[in-house]
């Protein structure tokens, strides 16, 4: 088999896997009140949610669904929806902006990811 034939599968595993991992990460953090692995503030929640959506949209656009079962789409979609709900549930308890040294970088990360998300989202609009 030509190694290039495996490329569509590799792309599918990477993008759908990244989306699933990101969504699970948000779910876990949204449930925790303390410790390092929690949502630190609203910008942190926004950045991680945007990251999940970024991979979700890329997975939708770039996966060869002729080769990969569409069930995979519904799985990552369900995880993303659950993570979005978890963030909304947690939102009122989160500080608007942390006072720690990492707060500025989290805000930057959120804005950057939202800007990045705009590109595949625009492409998706073109496609549909």
Where do contacts with another protein occur on this chain (CB under 8 A)? 8, 56, 60-67, 70, 73-74, 77-78, 80-82, 84-89, 91-92, 123-124, 126-128
- Give dist(CA 90, CA 73) in Å, integer: 26
- Give dist(CA 111, CA 20) in Å, integer: 22
Q: Which residue number, 77 or 111, has a Cβ lying nearer to another protein?
A: 77
Tell me the closest approach of the beta carbon of residue 101 to another protein, in angstroms: 30
- Give dist(CA 48, CA 44) in Å, integer: 6
Contact 113, 59 (CB under 8 A): no
Q: Which residue number, 1 or 99, has a Cβ lying nearer to another protein?
A: 1
Tell me the closest approach of the beta carbon of residue 127 to another protein, in angstroms: 5
Tell me the closest approach of the beta carbon of residue 97 to another protein, in angstroms: 20
The pair of three-digit structure tokens given for residue 50, joined into one six-digit string = 């945007």
């Amino acid at each position: 088999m030509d190694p290039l034939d495996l490329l569509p599968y590799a792309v599918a595993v990477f993008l759908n896997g990244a989306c699933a991992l990101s969504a699970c990460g948000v779910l876990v953090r949204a449930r925790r009140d303390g410790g390092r692995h929690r949502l630190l503030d609203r910008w942190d929640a926004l950045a991680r949610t945007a990251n999940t959506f970024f991979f979700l949209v890329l997975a939708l656009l770039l996966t060869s669904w002729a080769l990969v079962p569409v069930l995979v789409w519904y799985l990552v979609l369900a995880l993303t929806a659950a993570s979005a709900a978890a963030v909304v549930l947690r939102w009122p308890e989160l500080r608007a902006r942390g006072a720690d040294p990492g707060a500025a970088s989290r805000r930057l990360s959120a804005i950057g990811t939202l800007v990045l998300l705009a590109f595949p989202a625009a492409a998706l609009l073109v496609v549909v």
